[in-house]
C-alpha cells in the first residue's frame, strides 16, 4: 500500500463504538500522519481502550458507524489478522504475552509484514533493542517480571514490521527504573520515524513520546487536540478535561 501525497496514514472519521446497548464512542475523529506520534489521553472510562480495540478489529467492542482508513484502505469489517498484516502493530494493555512459550518463541510466533531488506525487525534486532530479553530468551514468559513482559510485548509488536505502532497503557504497573528504560526505547522508535499511537494515563510520558495529543472527553468524542509542546507551555486543557 502506498500513501497519497500529503494524506494521513490513519484517518478515523465519525467512529461510533459500544458494547451491547451501551455506546462509548459517539463520533471520534482522529488523524495520524506518516512518521507522527500521537498520544491519546482521557479519564478512566472515557474509551481509550475501546478506541484502540476498535482500530485493531478486536471484539468486544462493536463498531456501529464510522470509518477507519489506513493508507487509504478501509479497516472497518476487516479481521484483526488482516489489520495487523496491513501494518498496525499492537501492544495491548496488560501485555498478554504467551506465558507457556519462551521469550524467543513469543517473538518467533508472530507473522511479519514484508518490508525492504534492512528495515525488517528480526529477533536479533529486538534483542539489541531490549538486551534484557536476550538474557531471558529461554525463560517462559510467565516467569518474567512486569517490565520484562512489557519489553516482550513491544518486541513482539515490532516483529510484525508495523507502519503504525498502537500501544495501550505501556507504563501501567511499571517501576520507575523500568519505565525509564521503556521510555528511552520508545523515544528511539519515535526518532526513527515510526508512526505511533499511544493511549496512556501517564501524562508526562505521553507528552514526552508524542508530537500531538488528542483528549477523549465525556461525550465520547475528541474534546481537544493540539501539539504536545503547547500543552507543556499551557496545561489548561489537561486540567479541564483530565481533572489533573
| Dihedral sign from CA coordinates of 126, 131, 135, 140 | negative
- pLDDT of the residue at 7: 85
**What single DSSP character describes residue 142?**
G
pLDDT in tens, 62-76: 999 999 999 999 999
Q: What is the mean pLDDT of the chain?
A: 94
The domain made up of 1-86+210-244 is a member of CATH 3.40.47.10: no
Which residue reads 534486532 in cell numbers? 125
Beta pairing, strands 22-32 & 10-19:
antiparallel
| Cis check: omega of the bond before 97, within 30 degrees of 0 | no
Mean pLDDT of 107-119: 87
Cβ atoms of 206 and 182 closer than 8 Å: no
pLDDT tier for residue 20 given thresholds of 50, 70 and 90: confident
Largest CA distance in the chain: 48
State what percent of residues in the chain have pLDDT above 70.
98
Among the residue ranges 85-89, 102-106, 112-116, 238-242, the one predicted with the least confidence is: 112-116
| Cis check: omega of the bond before 60, within 30 degrees of 0 | yes
* Reported pTM: 0.93
pLDDT in tens, 114-145: 887 778 999 999 999 999 999 999 999 999 99
Amino acid at each position: 500500500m502506498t500513501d497519497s501525497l500529503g494524506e494521513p496514514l490513519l484517518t478515523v472519521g465519525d467512529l461510533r463504538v459500544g458494547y451491547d446497548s451501551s455506546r462509548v464512542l459517539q463520533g471520534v475523529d482522529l488523524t495520524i500522519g506518516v512518521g507522527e506520534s500521537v498520544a491519546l489521553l482521557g479519564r478512566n472510562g472515557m474509551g481509550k481502550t475501546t478506541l484502540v480495540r476498535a482500530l485493531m478489529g478486536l471484539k468486544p467492542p462493536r463498531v456501529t458507524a464510522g470509518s477507519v482508513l489506513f493508507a487509504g484502505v478501509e479497516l472497518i469489517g476487516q479481521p484483526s489478522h488482516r489489520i495487523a498484516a496491513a501494518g498496525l502493530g499492537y501492544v495491548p494493555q496488560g501485555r498478554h504475552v504467551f506465558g507457556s512459550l519462551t521469550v524467543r518463541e513469543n517473538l518467533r510466533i508472530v507473522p511479519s509484514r514484508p518490508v525492504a531488506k534492512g528495515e525488517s525487525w528480526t529477533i536479533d534486532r529486538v534483542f539489541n533493542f531490549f538486551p534484557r530479553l536476550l538474557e531471558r530468551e529461554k525463560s517462559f514468559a510467565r516467569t518474567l517480571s512486569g517490565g520484562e513482559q512489557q519489553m516482550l510485548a513491544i518486541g513482539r509488536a515490532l516483529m510484525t514490521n508495523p507502519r503504525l505502532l498502537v500501544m495501550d497503557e505501556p507504563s501501567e504497573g511499571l517501576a520507575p527504573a523500568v519505565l525509564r528504560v521503556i521510555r528511552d526505547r520508545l523515544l528511539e522508535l519515535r526518532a526513527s520515524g515510526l508512526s505511533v499511537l499511544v493511549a496512556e494515563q501517564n501524562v508526562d510520558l505521553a507528552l514526552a513520546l508524542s508530537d500531538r495529543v488528542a483528549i477523549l472527553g465525556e461525550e465520547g468524542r475528541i474534546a481537544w487536540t493540539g501539539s504536545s509542546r503547547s500543552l507543556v507551555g499551557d496545561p489548561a486543557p489537561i486540567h479541564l478535561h483530565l481533572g489533573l
